[in-house]
Copies of this chain bind each other. A is one copy, B any other.
Amino acid sequence: MELSQYFPIWNQLTERQQERILHATDFFEPPKGTLLHNGSADCLGLLVIHSGQLRVYYLSEDGREITLYRLFEHDTCLFSASCAFRSIQFDVCIETEKDSKMWVIPSCLYEQLIRESTALSNYTNQLMASRFSEVMWLMEQIMWKSFDRRLAGFLLEESNLEESVELKITHEKIASHMGTAREVVTRMLRYFQNEGMVKLTRGTVLITNEKALSKLAHS
């Protein structure tokens, strides 16, 4: 379990740079539900994820949420070091959705290194472009995909991540992921239930017809 195996451009750094990273980096094991980054209040550093699952979400000024993307093992989390980029004019929050393990390269060291290493700076560009792409994909969904199809897609994605057709998730929580109101989610889930695609019990959504949900999601 070595940082060098998880950090994509490790071999493009100088030996001295590698040493400085190893010296300053902590290994960190936050349990599920830990808030790692809370907008501009935090600037922990670059997170190199060994295992687990992170959720990166946008929080509006009046407290509404939408999930932007998830990060998994071997991913690098950039916005936890957002203070390195004065041009970032928006705040995101980052939380663990499963017990996770990660290396933290402190922001101050990361800021120094992107000024020295074109490899690291260019890798940062690629990371930023990847996240940008995920947000553009999401915007397209929001703009032009109806809510029933987005919800069907969300339930299938959750089922895939949890490796279960029984999702332990509240309507409130689904609403936060999707950036909408709880009532909207409840109404649509009841429609799905009437159509035989899910079965609802308190705090649980059971997928009963994956094929129909999938057809809807891709319609």
Would B122 and A115 count as touching, CB distance under 8 A?
Answer: yes
Contact flags A115-133 to B (C-beta < 8 A → 1, else 0): 1111001101111111111
Query: Among the interface residues A87, A114, A133, which one has the most CB atoms of the partner chain B within 10 A?
Result: A87
- A163 beta carbon closer than 8 Å to chain B: no
- A169 beta carbon closer than 8 Å to chain B: no
Would A133 and B88 count as touching, CB distance under 8 A?
Answer: yes
- A22 beta carbon closer than 8 Å to chain B: no
- A108 beta carbon closer than 8 Å to chain B: no
Q: Complex formed: what's the CA distance from A140 to B128 in Å?
A: 19
Closest Cβ–Cβ distance, residue A218 to chain B (whole Å):
13
If A118-B116, A122-B115, A128-B129 touch, whether A139 touches B142 (CB-CB below 8 Å) is yes
- A106 beta carbon closer than 8 Å to chain B: no
Copies of this chain present? 2
> How many A residues are at the interface, by size bracket?
35 or more
Q: Complex formed: what's the CA distance from A87 to B90 in Å?
A: 21
A interface secondary structure, majority: helix
CB-CB under 8 A from A133, the residues of chain B are 87-90
CB-CB under 8 A from A135, the residues of chain B are 132, 135-136, 139
CB-CB under 8 A from A122, the residues of chain B are 114-115, 121
- A66 beta carbon closer than 8 Å to chain B: yes
Name 19 extra pairs, CB < 8 A, besides A135-B136, A143-B179, A144-B179.
Answer: A58-B136, A58-B139, A60-B140, A62-B144, A64-B143, A66-B139, A87-B125, A87-B126, A87-B127, A87-B129, A115-B118, A117-B118, A118-B121, A121-B122, A124-B125, A128-B128, A128-B132, A132-B132, A135-B139
Would B125 and A85 count as touching, CB distance under 8 A?
Answer: yes
Contact flags A38-65 to B (C-beta < 8 A → 1, else 0): 0000000000000000000010101010
Closest Cβ–Cβ distance, residue A202 to chain B (whole Å):
28
- A86 beta carbon closer than 8 Å to chain B: yes
